[in-house]
């Protein structure tokens, strides 16, 4: 089986490969990528899943990652307890603004492709921009909502940023409910 993941940035090549392995239980897989970081990420994924990986560099932007099954396919370990994801910003990390926004898009996409999903996604402060303005993230949040994730945005925050009438996904809540959920579940807060 062959996957052409050239033109895609992290985490898309890994997700494409993981999906192919999961859906087809394939013995061998060739993934074509155009950057070295993708080869490293695919190699790590292969190790986790029980595949041997071989990377061939045809040029600086043309790589072939060959995966071969060496045992039973392992599943990514699921954590038994439920968790919530907190977004207080529309950026991931501290750095160049546009790049940090792209990282957030990459994170929400990866989260929407995971087998396990959060019980809740809570958005407050500038994080409410993710449920209102960023169309790409709204689409990924819709996938999570379809899997059963409840998406809640702080009403006071939506009012503060004049976004209450622009809410595209989830429901409006208050800080008391956000606090209640945060104290009940394991919290994942990308920052």
- Model confidence at 191: pLDDT above 90: no
Question: Torsion angle of alpha carbons 43, 80, 117, 28, nearest 10°?
Answer: 30
Q: How many helices (H) and strands (E) does the chain have?
A: 6, 9
Q: Domain 83-188: state its class.
A: alpha beta
Output the pLDDT for position 84: 96
- Model confidence at 121: pLDDT above 90: yes
Query: CATH 3.40.1260.10 residue ranges in the chain?
Result: 83-188
Output the CA–CA distances (angstroms, integers) from residue 174 to 83, 178, 187, in the order listed: 19, 6, 18
Which CATH superfamily groups domain 2-69? TusA-like domain (3.30.110.40)
Q: Are strands 51-59 and 2-4 parallel, antiparallel or unpaired?
A: unpaired
């Amino acid at each position: 089986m062959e996957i052409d993941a050239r033109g895609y940035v992290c985490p898309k090549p890994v997700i494409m490969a993981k999906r192919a392995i999961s859906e087809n239980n394939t013995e061998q897989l060739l993934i074509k990528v155009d950057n070295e970081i993708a080869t490293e990420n695919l190699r790590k994924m292969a190790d986790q899943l029980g595949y041997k990986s071989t990377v061939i560099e045809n040029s600086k932007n043309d790589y072939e990652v060959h995966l071969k099954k060496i045992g039973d396919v392992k599943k990514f370990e699921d954590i038994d307890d439920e968790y919530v994801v907190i977004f207080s910003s529309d950026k991931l990390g501290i750095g160049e603004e546009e790049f940090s926004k792209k990282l957030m898009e990459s994170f929400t996409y990866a989260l929407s492709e995971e087998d396990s999903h959060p019980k809740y996604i809570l958005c407050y402060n500038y994080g409410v921009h993710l449920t209102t303005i960023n169309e790409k993230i709204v689409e990924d949040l819709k996938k999570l909502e379809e899997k059963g994730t409840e998406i809640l945005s702080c009403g006071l925050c939506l009012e503060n940023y004049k976004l209450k009438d622009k809410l595209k996904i989830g429901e409006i809540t208050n800080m008391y409910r956000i606090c209640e959920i945060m104290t009940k579940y394991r919290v994942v807060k990308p920052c």
